A and B are shown apart, each in its own frame.
Chain A
């Protein structure tokens, strides 16, 4: 969806280079649409984007209600993999889909780096 030479493409490229990452996407937080993606076959990008943004909105409200401020990173662990998400700027989310045995710390680092560069 994004070209490898665009800033978004480069950011996603760095995330998906980490071993165990099955795909990464930039998602519009407000409308839940895919802005850019690099996903392995079989991952439904549109569905993932819509549900991730919906979850992000609800988590945001929960965090603020709990007096914890906005979330900076979330990690949803499942049987066969994980979903790692970092808010990027005001209106975007960086989402990584990983295998279960991925190095979460490394993916988190790449997500935060990408978010800092304004992806």
Chain B
């Protein structure tokens, strides 16, 4: 069974259920800025950092693309490879906009399953999310410590 690790514990239960039901190989829940709230399936911190940075960049790029086209932001983005599929989606919660990055093996799951159970994940996260507080001003000096703390939480250290 894949373990879900979370910086913000309210995400644990919805994400654990999602990983099981959708048969996802890797899942990353983050803010559009790339701050990771929870992860499942990653074994190295460097992979989490790379995936969150790239995922956030893709969301920013596609949002801008949608804006240029005069459209609302895309609901989801999918990429299918030979053995794996990647699905990226952003949605609003009381915690703010969140982004979920899902990697699934084509032998074990499918885009249909990933999308089907995403609806439930979004509903569960919306129900569990804390109300948005005043945005915290992050000082450069705090940033590295906060990043290390988050990574420690994400890998159970």
A53 contacts the other chain (CB 8 A): yes
- Whether A33 lies near B116 (C-beta < 8 A) is no
* Separation of A28 and B80 alpha carbons in the complex (Å): 14
Q: Find residues 62-107 in chain B having any chain A CB closer than 8 Å to their own CB.
A: 80, 85, 106-107
Q: Find residues 8-63 in chain A having any chain B CB closer than 8 Å to their own CB.
A: 27-28, 30-33, 46-47, 49-51, 53-54, 57
Question: How many residues of chain B have a CB within 8 Å of chain A?
Answer: 12
Question: How many residues of chain A have a CB within 8 Å of chain B?
Answer: 14
Residues of A within 8 A of B116 (CB): 32, 46-47, 50-51
Residues of B within 8 A of A32 (CB): 110-113, 116
* Separation of A57 and B111 alpha carbons in the complex (Å): 13
* Separation of A47 and B114 alpha carbons in the complex (Å): 11
* Distance from B31 Cβ to chain A, minimum over Cβ atoms (Å): 28
Closest 8 CB pairs of A and B: A32-B112, A50-B112, A32-B110, A31-B111, A50-B116, A50-B113, A31-B110, A33-B112
- Whether A54 lies near B109 (C-beta < 8 A) is yes
- Whether A33 lies near B111 (C-beta < 8 A) is yes
Nearest opposing residue in chain B for A34, CB measure: B112
B153 contacts the other chain (CB 8 A): no
20 A-B contacts (beta carbon < 8 Å): A28-B112, A30-B106, A30-B110, A31-B80, A32-B110, A32-B113, A32-B116, A33-B111, A33-B112, A46-B115, A46-B116, A50-B110, A50-B113, A50-B115, A51-B116, A53-B110, A54-B109, A54-B112, A54-B113, A57-B110
